[in-house]
Structure formats: structure tokens, C-alpha cells
């Protein structure tokens, strides 16, 4: 397939479920991970079930990678939609071994584009194949469930809060495997979560939901820093930056990275040259200077320009910055006092320097 339809998932669902009303429409790339994010009860799972065909609304349209799955005259049955569905609970067959559970996914497939051996290696489950699913940890069971869903040869993978039932240790165990999926496979993923740290770590595109409606949809980096949206007004408001590793200074144990031509330093060894890493920079960890600071202990002092600002409280100002040389595409948030804003004479369009006092890796 070619053209615009071959690169996007287009969805529109409108209907009522008791006292709950759903009216959503969004377009997402047919590649990578798109997060459906919002508070519990906002309709994320209902949207996912509509995409899978498990919930049907009379007023609905769905196109997946150019194929019409649903419109006013056509409704493709769930078993014909070629979706893999990973639920909050693994829903494995307890009477079958790990290997037999995986092979059940293969039996459902009409094609064999994804083989058993690559999935075993991708999910790191070779040592588990002969075991009973009852003897596995929560993280291991969820990896088996993901592997089984992938072996059904889906054109679209749906994940409904797959980490919500896991403890912190199990979440940390499975997250690297979830991160590896978009790099290893070309299957687009719709990922439902109400955990912002998961969204920041795993997704590239975001559909922000509230009360059965879509507040906004677009690239993750743009929505996190959009001052008109609730994400930027959270106490933990932050931007995420995708870095490329250049070198590692073994003497100081600091990696020099690059972001759109600008140097960026991160403690620790982040990987060989060319490795892509993601960091989270909180608005509260970004201070502003009208002149380039000297004699500072802050390693990352980046030229930037004020794009816009918003009064966050009687004492605080939230400032949206575009890094110089990136045409405003790479953005930061800075939370400063209104007193500092006035004292420095700050205004939209003004060039200055952003001092990043701290950051957190979000892709380990």
C-alpha cells in the first residue's frame, strides 16, 4: 500500500455506555508506539476494545495502515482484524507449558512472518519454555503473553495497561523488553496507561484523553510541553529529550551526547557511539540566564529562545523554550518565579541560556 492511508491509523468512535459517553477521533502513525493516556475511567480501554472490534459502536470509523476495518457500511469481525491484544492480566492457559502457550498464538495466525525462535529471543524466555505458567513471576507471565500475541502475526498490537498488575521489581524487569519491540518489529503499538513515567519511556506519539474525549493528539515531546494542556501544569511537568551518544570520558565517567547539533553531558556510560538514549528534564530543574554563565558547576548550559509563557500560580511562571538551532523543534520547560521573570525582563522571542541542573534517564 502507498500514500497517506498506508502510514496512519485513523480512528473515530462515538457512543454511550450507560452513563458514560465516548466521542473520540484521532490519527496515529502506523509505526512505533502511540500512548493512550489519561486518568482512570476516561475511556482508554473502551477505545482499545473498539479498535479490536470487541466493543461495537454504531458511529465508528477505523482505518489501519490503509485497510478499512470499520465504517458506516462495514464492520470487520475481531478475529479478522489481525490484532494482538495484551491485557492487564496475562490470561495464559494454566494447563499448558510456556512453549504450548506460545504455539497457541502461532495456531491462530494465517501467515508466518514472525517466527517462534526470534520471539523467544526477543522476549528473553528461552529458559522458561518447559515450565508451567503457574510457576512464573508476574513479569515472566506478561512476557509470555506479549510473545503469544506477537506470534498471532498481528498488523497492530494493543496493550491495555500491561504493567498495572505488576510490582515495581517486575515492572523494571519487563520494561526493557517493551522498549525493544519497536526497534525489532515493524508492528505499530497502541499502549494504554495512566502512568506518565511509562508513557515518557515507551511512546513517541500520544493521544491525551479526558472524560471520554481526546484533548490532544500528536508527538509526545510536543504534548508534554504544550502550555495549554494539563501535562505542563502538573507539579512534575517535564520535557523528554532524545540524545545520541558520542563519547565517554572514563576519567570523569561522563558521556558526551548530542541533541540536534548541541552537546549534552550525562553522568555514566550510556553506550557506544550512536546509541540513542532518552532523558527526562523537569521544569523545576531548568533555570534561565540572559547572559552565558561562567564559572558554573552546571554542565549543560544550552542556547535557547522563549517561545511562550504561562502564569502557573501567583508566584510561578512556566516558560516554554526552543533550543537554538533546532527551529524550536526540541523544547524544554522552565518553572521560575514571576519575580525572576520580571526582574530579568523576559519576553517571548527573547534569546537566552537554559541551565539544566538535573535530569533522569527514562530508558534504562
Per CATH, is 4-224 categorized as 3.40.50.300? yes
State residue 328's pLDDT score. Answer: 58
pLDDT for 1 beyond 60: no
Which residues, in sequence order, are bridge partners of residue 302? 354
pLDDT for 266 beyond 60: yes
Secondary structure class of 155 (helix, strand, coil): coil
* Whole-angstrom distance, CA of residue 148 vs CA of residue 268: 36
Cell of 278: 532518552
State residue 326's pLDDT score. Answer: 62
CB 238 within 8 A of CB 284: no
Q: What percent of the chain has pLDDT over 70?
A: 97
Which architecture does CATH list for 238-361? Beta Barrel (2.40)
**199 phi and psi angles, rounded to 5 deg:** -60, -45
Q: Where are the domains of the chain?
A: 4-224, 238-361
Only one residue has cell 540572559, namely: 290
Query: How confident is the model over 344-364, as pLDDT tens digits?
Result: 999 999 999 999 998 888 864
Mean pLDDT confidence for 220-243 = 94
pLDDT for 4 beyond 80: no
* Whole-angstrom distance, CA of residue 268 vs CA of residue 254: 5
Query: How confident is the model over 172-186, as pLDDT tens digits?
Result: 889 999 999 998 998
**Residue 243: closest CA among 281, 207, 205, 206:** 281
Q: How far is CA 153 from CA 84, 119, 193, in A?
A: 8, 11, 24
The residue count of the chain comes to 364
**Residue 347: closest CA among 317, 314, 312, 309:** 309
Average pLDDT, the chain: 92
End-to-end CA separation in angstroms for the chain: 36
The better pLDDT of the pair 212, 183 is held by 212
Amino acid at each position: 500500500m502507498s500514500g497517506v492511508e498506508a502510514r496512519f491509523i485513523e480512528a473515530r468512535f462515538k457512543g454511550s455506555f450507560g452513563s458514560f459517553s465516548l466521542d473520540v477521533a484521532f490519527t496515529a502513525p502506523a509505526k512505533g508506539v502511540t500512548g493512550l493516556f489519561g486518568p482512570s475511567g476516561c475511556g482508554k480501554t473502551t477505545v482499545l476494545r473498539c479498535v479490536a472490534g470487541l466493543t461495537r459502536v454504531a458511529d465508528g470509523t477505523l482505518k489501519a495502515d490503509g485497510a478499512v476495518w470499520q465504517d458506516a457500511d462495514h464492520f470487520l469481525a475481531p478475529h479478522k482484524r489481525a490484532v494482538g491484544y495484551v491485557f492487564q492480566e496475562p490470561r495464559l492457559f494454566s494447563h499448558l507449558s510456556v512453549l504450548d502457550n506460545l504455539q497457541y498464538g502461532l495456531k491462530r495466525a494465517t501467515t508466518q512472518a514472525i517466527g517462534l525462535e526470534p520471539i523467544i529471543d526477543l522476549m528473553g524466555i528461552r529458559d522458561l519454555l518447559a515450565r508451567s505458567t503457574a510457576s512464573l513471576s508476574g513479569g515472566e507471565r506478561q512476557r509470555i503473553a506479549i510473545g503469544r500475541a506477537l506470534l498471532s502475526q498481528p498488523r497492530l498490537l494493543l496493550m491495555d495497561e500491561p504493567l498495572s498488575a505488576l510490582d515495581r521489581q517486575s515492572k523494571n524487569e519487563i520494561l526493557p523488553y517493551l522498549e525493544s519491540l519497536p526497534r525489532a518489529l515493524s508492528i505499530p503499538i497502541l499502549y494504554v496507561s495512566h502512568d506518565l513515567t511509562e508513557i515518557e519511556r515507551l511512546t513517541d506519539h500520544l493521544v491525551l484523553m479526558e472524560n471520554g474525549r481526546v484533548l490532544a493528539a500528536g508527538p509526545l515531546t510536543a504534548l508534554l510541553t504544550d502550555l495549554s494542556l494539563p501535562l505542563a501544569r502538573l507539579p512534575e511537568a517535564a520535557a523528554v529529550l532524545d540524545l545520541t551518544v558520542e563519547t565517554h570520558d572514563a576519567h570523569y565517567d561522563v558521556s558526551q551526547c548530542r541533541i540536534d547539533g548541541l552537546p549534552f553531558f550525562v553522568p555514566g556510560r550510556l553506550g557506544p557511539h550512536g546509541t540513542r538514549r532518552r532523558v527526562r528534564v523537569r521544569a523545576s530543574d531548568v533555570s534561565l540566564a540572559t547572559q552565558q554563565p561562567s564559572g558554573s558547576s552546571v554542565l549543560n548550559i544550552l542556547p535557547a529562545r522563549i517561545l511562550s509563557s504561562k502564569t502557573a500560580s501567583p508566584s510561578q511562571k512556566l516558560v516554554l523554550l526552543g533550543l537554538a538551532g533546532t527551529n524550536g523543534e526540541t523544547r524544554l520547560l522552565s518553572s521560575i518565579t514571576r519575580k525572576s521573570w520580571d526582574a530579568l525582563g523576559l519576553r517571548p522571542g527573547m534569546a537566552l541560556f537554559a541551565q539544566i541542573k538535573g535530569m533522569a534517564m527514562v530508558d534504562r
